[in-house]
Amino acid sequence: MKKWILILVIMANGVAQAAIMEIIDSSGDGNGNTVDGVGLNVDDNGNVYITGVNTDNLFRISASTSCTTADCEIIEILDASGDGVIAHDRTSAVATDADGNVYVAGQFSDNVWRILNPINCSTSGTACNIEEIIGPSGDGSNPLDTPVALAVDHSGHVYVAGAVSHNVFRIAASTTCGTGGPACTVTEIIDESGDNNGNIISQPVGLAIDSQNNVFVTTQNSDNVFKIANPGSCSTNGTPCTITEIIDESSLTASAFGRGLVVDSQDNVYLTSLGFFENAAVFKINTPGTCSTAGTACTITEIFNTPTPQQAGNMAVDSADNIYFAGGNGDNAFRIDNPVNCSTSSTPCIITEIIDANGDGVAILDGPGNVAIGNDVDVYVSGGGSDNAFRVSGAAESTDLIFRNGFDF
């Protein structure tokens, strides 16, 4: 029996309901291409991209608001063979741009792939147009080692964080460049020296970009967050980027910041603390313009806190600025209603668990690591331990809906 959750919006004909549906399981595409360790992303057209972390592959699920594992159109578009010359090893991150192109990080192959809009291609049929846009050599002077986070800005420039090389690269927008030539324009914009004021960066694991194309980086070892002001022409080898540390461990009672990092429509920044050694938490940084750890302190608000073993993992934000995050070993995912004036220390935020370990009532959810928004109102949650992904229909909120304000779970 499927589990049902009340939708967020009162519709004209009464209260609608939102179903939880499994959209892929460990059998992958059902044609022998399996999936193990699941991450996900959703493009602007509602197509879902599912990563097989340990099976070294990527699946495309055609846009749908109602399909299930039994009838979704699931197509493998990348496997361990990579582009046929360079191998792909461990799918650690996936991102999309406004044109439907897909970017995939290979954590152990130390690279990033660009797959040109994969509408009619697959690993078993017409080959996809796959190009390596950065490899282990990074920008030629600074290496890329263990990429685990990707982001694409409004102009199509791609950013990748190297967790072991302790750096972030900018790859200039292009649909034709690649390591096989013509070479992409690759620039290292931050390295281990961080802001060059004694605040180092160690193991960057999260990336986000605001409306001004400022890049935010969160770390797991140095427990800090950096803002890199619109890095259009700066680099670590030339004109230095304007880099500001906006949070460190002393700024709040948390450490081991997670990969969860998002920016809302007002350019407020949200990040997660995993909860390895203390309570899992989610923090809001009010639009960080000129604040820093060295000058005027940023306004930081804790909006979620729970005892271990709950975790707070990757995040997403909908068009109404509601925040979503994966619960990791809590085997769940949460929604925080637009947290403008709420906190854990004053007016409580409206927080709803939108899916738990029961999954859809038949297929379980285990170890969710990613959440994403699709079709404006659907939330997708990946089960890294259960090797599957779910759609929670109507759990997100679109500003296009007539009755938006005042109606919650």
Specify the pLDDT at position 250: 82
In tens digits, the chain (409 residues) has pLDDT values of 233 333 333 222 222 346 999 999 999 999 999 999 999 999 999 999 999 999 999 999 999 999 999 999 999 999 999 999 999 999 999 999 999 999 999 999 999 999 999 999 999 999 999 999 999 999 999 999 999 999 999 999 999 999 999 999 999 999 999 999 999 999 999 999 999 999 999 999 999 999 999 999 999 899 899 999 999 999 999 999 999 999 998 877 655 577 899 999 999 999 998 765 567 889 999 999 999 999 999 999 999 998 766 888 899 999 999 999 999 989 999 999 999 999 999 999 999 999 999 999 999 999 999 999 999 999 999 999 999 999 999 999 987 643 333 322 2
Count other Cβ atoms within 10 Å, centred on residue 218: 28
Query: The tokens 């993992």 sit on which residue?
Result: 313
Q: Are 79 and 134 in contact (CB under 8 A)?
A: no
Closest of 309, 287, 314 to residue 298, by C-alpha: 287
Fold type of domain 19-392: Neuraminidase (2.120.10)
Domain locations in the chain as residue ranges: 19-392
Token pair, residue 318, equals 């909908």
Beta carbons within 8 Å of 383's beta carbon, 6+ residues apart: 38, 359, 364, 365, 366, 367, 368, 389, 390
Give, in order, the Cα–Cα distances in Å from 352 to each of 4, 16, 286, 310.
Answer: 14, 17, 22, 15
Q: CA torsion 41→43→44→45, rounded to 10°?
A: -120
